[in-house]
Each structure stands twice: as structure tokens, then as C-alpha cells.
Structure 1
Amino acid sequence: MKRRYTPYTLPPWMKKFRGVCQQFIVPFIVFQGLRTLIFPTFFDMLLLVAFIFLAMSLYFEWI
């Protein structure tokens, strides 16, 4: 039987790491968005999409 994921059963260091990531992901998205507007390369767009997906997954507690 598959175990359900709950963020409340994580170790304390993992909870702290998730909190730090949640604080820093928005400035990274803003910086990467501005960089993508100035120098639009495929890598910049790919990195911006990855940051947005990471922010959504942290906000909705998917990871």
C-alpha cells in the first residue's frame, strides 16, 4: 500500500530547507523574468519555467 505524503511528517531540517526555498524562489523568478526579457535565450526560458514550477509545487505543497 502506498504511503501518503504529508509535509508535517518531515524532519525539522527539511521543513527549514523548504521554508528557505519558499522565501528565495520569488526573487529568483523576478530576476530570471527580467533576464529573459532582456536576453531571451532557450536556456533562460527553460530556467524560468523550472522556477515557476518549483514555486507552484512549494506553494501547493506538492513537494
Structure 2
Amino acid sequence: MFNRWTFNKYRLPPWLRRVRDGLETMILPIACFQLLRTIMLPTTFDVILLAILVSLYICFLKRWL
């Protein structure tokens, strides 16, 4: 059965697609830098930010975003 509320990335406006694609390419280097920063000086904020970045990266890998 067709669900009309499924996510379709081509429904987005072109500028939003460019922003999402740019974020997709930049998320891995930012997550690696955040991992190094968290290893050097772990704070609660750094751990939470790293968890958010890793979850975003996994969502991009699974094509959920």
C-alpha cells in the first residue's frame, strides 16, 4: 500500500537538498574531530555532541535523512 507520508528527498526544495548534501559530506570530519576532542578532554557536552553527530552519520548512511 502506498503511504503518502513516506520521505522522498526529491520533494524538498533545491536549496534544502544542497544544504542536506553539504551536511552529509561534512558530518564525518566533524565527528572525527569531535571524537579526538572528547578523548583529550571529555565533558558532558562533548559526549552528547559526539552522540548526536554519530547518530546523524548513521542516519545518512541508512538514507533516513
The one-letter amino acid of 2:5's match is R
TM-score, normalised via structure 1 length: 0.86
Flag structure 2 segments of 5+ consecutive residues without an equivalent: none
Q: Displacement of 1:39 after TM fit?
A: 0.2
Hey, what's the Cα distance between the residues in 1 that align with 2:18 and 2:29? 18
* Equivalent position of 1:44 in the other structure: 46
* Equivalent position of 1:11 in the other structure: 13
Hey, what's the Cα distance between the residues in 1 that align with 2:22 and 2:7? 20
Hey, what's the Cα distance between the residues in 2 that align with 1:37 and 1:22? 24
SS at match of 1:5: coil
Larger relative contact order (CA 8 Å, sep ≥ 6): 1
Counterpart contact for 1:32–1:48, Cα < 8 Å: yes
Counterpart contact for 1:7–1:61, Cα < 8 Å: no
Flag structure 1 segments of 5+ consecutive residues without an equivalent: none
Q: Displacement of 1:58 after TM fit?
A: 2.1
The one-letter amino acid of 1:57's match is C
**After the TM superposition, which segments of 4 or more aligned residues of structure 1 sit over 3 Å from their partners?**
none
Taking every aligned residue pair, what percent have the same amino acid on both sides? 33
Counterpart contact for 1:33–1:48, Cα < 8 Å: yes
